[in-house]
Amino acid sequence: MADKEEHLLLIEDEVALREATAERLEEHGYHVVQVGSGEEALEKVSNFAFDALITDLRLPGIDGTQVIEGALALYPDMVGIVVTGFGSVRDAVEAIKRGATDFIAKPFQFDHLLHVLTMALEQRRLKSENAYLRSQLEENYQFEGILGRSESMQRLFQMLETISGTTSTVLITGETGTGKELVARAIHHNSPRRSRRFVAFNCGAIPETLLEAELFGHVRGAFTGAVTTRQGRLEQAHRGTLFLDEIGTMSASLQVKLLRALQEREIERLGDNQPMRVDVRVIAATNSNLEEMVGNGSFRKDLYYRLNVIPIHLPPLSDRRADIPLLVQSFLQKFSQRENTPRPGVVFSQEAMRKLMAYSWPGNIRELENIIERALALTPGKSQLELRDLPSELQTNKSSISAAEVTLPENGLDLRQHVHEIERKLIDSALDRTAGNKRKAADLLNINRTTLVEKAKRLEH
């Protein structure tokens, strides 16, 4: 069933056919305006932006091709469907060349007309949404390459704008693949230190025996293999920013030395006894729970408080599903431009997008990015990627609520009321996630839009 906002202009000089068709279209939710001539049609479209028009090709006076041309000159995105009699298919093809979306031949079955109309409007909606997403990539929903339209990401952007101008230490927490280094770089690039170096250092990627030398530097002869004097990462980041990723993997002895460096703002290279002043802004990140590590003694409390001056938590992708279409569009643009034959307009079908939004994303944004890159690499030349182009685990994925999540009270419960409440919460959640868009919310719940509207009304009582 169509949205009530979809307005159609029906142009047909056979009164009986026109009125019967209009009645059936209205039964399917369309708001229909009827006219019997091309002149009347052009007068109507000059005063109102219809979503679509359905016009007979042969009309008294101005014909259907001229109506299409006149309407599209005012509204390039309008859907135009031409109805043609037997033997004039060539004329209908000519009308398509001039901008008509599709044509059907008389006599026609209403279901066929409805199918053509529905598909044409859906394609227009997809085109409009993709254009909108592309524009959003350049406007409101990003901060230094970080994308998000969800409420949690908008709050993050506000926080980043506030803290970027400070020199305070920042601790970024979040699951692997949520973009912690990207956030750290964004803070640096919007800070007064932007003209200085941003030095990224993964504490978990360096063997423990080399970690101290990498962080503090060393002089020649400090240990076997130290044939030259070398700057450490703290020294390299002087007057800039040092990003310490996976800070929770650092040993207890090195935690002590890092704490001293942060407190005293000076370091000593291995094998040297001359302290050196450093001016470094530190941004640390971890996917571990440092509070728990402090509690069990594996992470120093004083270092934790030294690092946790400004805490930032990055939500997992499963908690910000409203951002997935935006991220998908960004990755499609990014990887399609790398190909030998770029595909600037490539999109995912709505069915595939629904699966992408329903998936749990244990690898977060990094996993999504890898899947988009793989889908493009394996489908050369395609302008629209389908569900079958996604990995099998996404194709078979189904959103569900585990029975283990529901605990039956000792004294029982009112099953009907409990189901009623769960249903209401799921509908509210879907509407929140889609900013009130009932069609998209219905897609998330795998029900018809009409069913969603009826359920929402019933659940209000």
Report pLDDT digits (tens) over 101-133: 888 888 888 888 898 898 888 877 776 666 555
Q: Residue 364: helix, strand or coil by DSSP?
A: helix
Contact 64, 55 (CB under 8 A): yes
Query: What's the pLDDT at 83?
Result: 86
Q: Which CATH class is domain 149-315?
A: alpha beta
- What's the pLDDT at 250? 93
Contact 276, 172 (CB under 8 A): no
Q: Are 398 and 358 in contact (CB under 8 A)?
A: yes
- Phi, psi of 105, rounded to the nearest 5 degrees: -100, 145
How far is it, in rounded angstroms, from Cα 38 to Cα 61? 7
Cβ neighbors of 127 (< 8 A, separation 6 or more) are: 77
pLDDT of residue 396: 79
CA torsion, ordered 269, 271, 275, 279, to nearest 10 deg: 0
Q: Where are the domains of the chain?
A: 7-136, 149-315, 318-395, 403-459
Give the CATH number of domain 318-395: 1.10.8.60
The predicted pLDDT at position 174 comes to: 93
Report pLDDT for 7.
87
Which pair of tokens denotes residue 287? 């996917």
Domains 149-315 and 318-395 in one fold: no
The whole model's pTM is what? Answer: 0.60
Note down pLDDT in tens along the chain; length 461 residues.
444 468 899 999 889 989 999 999 988 888 899 999 989 998 888 777 788 899 988 888 888 888 888 888 777 778 889 888 755 667 767 777 777 888 888 888 888 889 889 888 887 777 666 655 555 554 556 677 788 878 888 899 999 999 988 989 999 999 999 999 999 999 999 999 999 999 999 998 888 878 888 999 888 887 777 778 888 999 999 999 999 999 999 999 999 999 999 999 999 888 888 889 999 999 999 999 999 999 999 999 999 999 999 999 999 998 888 788 889 988 998 888 887 777 777 888 878 888 888 888 999 999 999 999 999 999 988 888 998 999 988 887 654 444 334 556 667 777 777 777 788 888 888 887 776 778 778 877 877 777 778 778 777 65
- What is the sign of the dihedral through the CA atoms of 97, 99, 105 and 106? negative
- Out of 3.40.190.10, 3.30.70.270, 1.20.1440.230, 3.40.50.2300, the CATH code matching 7-136 is 3.40.50.2300
Candidate CATH numbers 1.10.10.60, 3.40.605.10, 2.40.50.100, 3.50.50.60; the one for domain 403-459: 1.10.10.60
